[in-house]
Amino acid sequence: MRISVKLPVVMIGTSMLCVLVVTVSSYLVASTIIRGQGDERLMALADSHADAMADHFAELRTSLVASAGGVTVRTALAEFASGWDAYGEAPAAAVVENYITRNPEPAETRDAFDKSGRKPYEKVHKTYHALLRDQMHDGGLSDILLVSRDGNVLYSVRKQDNLALNVTDPAIAATPFGGVVNAALNGEALKVFASDFAPDPLLGNRPEAYLATPVIIGSKVMGALVFGAPKAGLDRVLSGVSGLGETGNKYLLNEDGLVQNDSPRTAENDRLASQFLTAGYVPGRADLPRLGEFVGGDGSAFSVATSRFEVDGRPYAVVITQAVGEVLAPLQALRIWIIPIALACGLSVAVLAFLFSRQLCNRLKTLAHAMTRLAKGENDAPLPEMRNVDEIDDMGQAVLVFRDTALERLRLQAEQHQVQVEREQKVTAMQQLIADFRDEIGRVLEQVGGTGNRMQVLAQNLTRISSETTDGAN
């Protein structure tokens, strides 16, 4: 393949390869940066919400302890216990009959009913129910319950099916509610006992969580104050989705990896969902990943960031999720732009490379053509213009020197030939002169020879005449 073809191909191919390498490298670097920024954003959200949840639990516990130590709860507990005893032999049945069976309100709003009667319990209920109901609503609690020292559930704002039960009953004690209340009845002052959300068999296996603390007067445990964990309040802490786009979500996991909140972004109830437990995100384990991914039920991949915190020594974690595709959405936008930009740059570079290589090839072809003519002896062949700016000009200068040398050699050869011709002409003239001289000498010698012969004949004649004369005289 000739250089005039090879050079443009190589330069265009190299330029396109460079553009491709730069484009791919830029895309990979941008992907790493965007993914890193997304992970940092999710971790920051997880940390801030973990702090918010820790504060939420701390405020809830503070409220519980403060209420248990207040005059209202202490007085109410004592008076409800007295009213309970005043019912006689079957106080539990009487309470259930008056506040559940005969309650005209639907089960969800039984707290709206405030029976007024002449029984001591009914009078006490009339006195404290509105106060405790307001406290429940203000705190976003699911219920407030008062339990006597011997385990009787004396009062419930909600009037649910756990009212009038006795938590010392083995069947009741085995439930999350019974376990927490019994722990509080046997606990120390200012100590809070809590359960995570779990199916409560006393309430139709509805997920419930409880916090309980002993109510102590002096050094004597008078009973326990129980808060039904605030579902709405807990969900509210994790309800905001600012910075999480369309697919982001927030979850609170308990020690076993079960979801404790219900996200407003999902159609089903998330409480007690186990998708994170299945994926290995368990706050109770030491190897809880700080960052990771998991695949949702629909097969979508989600980025995950976790932040662990503790409440009374029990580990919890806030989990922030967002679809990987949405995290990398800026990269997708970049991909849309980077491809035409790369093509435009590649085409521009290719055109420039082609023009530049074409210019170089034209100069090389012109120089090569001139050298070919010089090689054939055409010393008058024109050379390309030289500006002394690159190696091709240096090559042209070298060819110019070769041409000038060839012309000088021809000039010298011509001069030598002329000298040789003149020398040969001089020799020929000399030879002709010598020949002419020889011929002239020959003629002279012939003439001299003829004259000599005549003189010899004349001398002989004179000699003969002299001899004859002499003889005559004698």
Tell me the CA distances in angstroms from 40 to 84, 242, 332, 334, 414, one per residue in order.
57, 15, 19, 20, 89
Tell me the CA distances in angstroms from 120 to 79, 96, 117, 249, one per residue in order.
8, 15, 8, 50
Highest mean pLDDT among 23-27, 253-257, 380-384: 253-257
Least confident of 50-64, 175-189, 394-408: 394-408
Average pLDDT, stretch 464-468? Answer: 76
Per-residue pLDDT, 9: 76
Average pLDDT, stretch 57-78? Answer: 95
Cβ neighbours for 256, distance < 8 A, ≥ 6 positions apart: 196, 277, 282, 284
DSSP-assigned beta bridge partners for residue 293: 303
Q: Quickly tell me which residue has 């005449």 as its tokens.
A: 465
User: 12-49, pLDDT tens digit by residue?
Assistant: 788 778 878 887 887 788 888 888 888 999 999 999 99
Least confident of 126-140, 190-204, 373-387: 373-387
Radius of gyration of the chain from Cα atoms?
A: 61
Note whether 372 and 12 are within 8 A (CB): no
pTM reported for the whole predicted model: 0.69
Cβ neighbours for 73, distance < 8 A, ≥ 6 positions apart: 67, 146, 215, 225
Least confident of 25-29, 94-98, 167-171, 244-248: 25-29
Note whether 110 and 103 are within 8 A (CB): yes
Highest mean pLDDT among 232-246, 372-386, 389-403: 232-246
Half-sphere exposure of 393 (CA within 13 A, CB side): 6
Least confident of 143-157, 167-181, 341-355: 341-355
Average pLDDT, stretch 177-185? Answer: 97
Kindly tell me the sign of the dihedral angle through the C-alpha atoms of 295, 298, 300, 303: negative
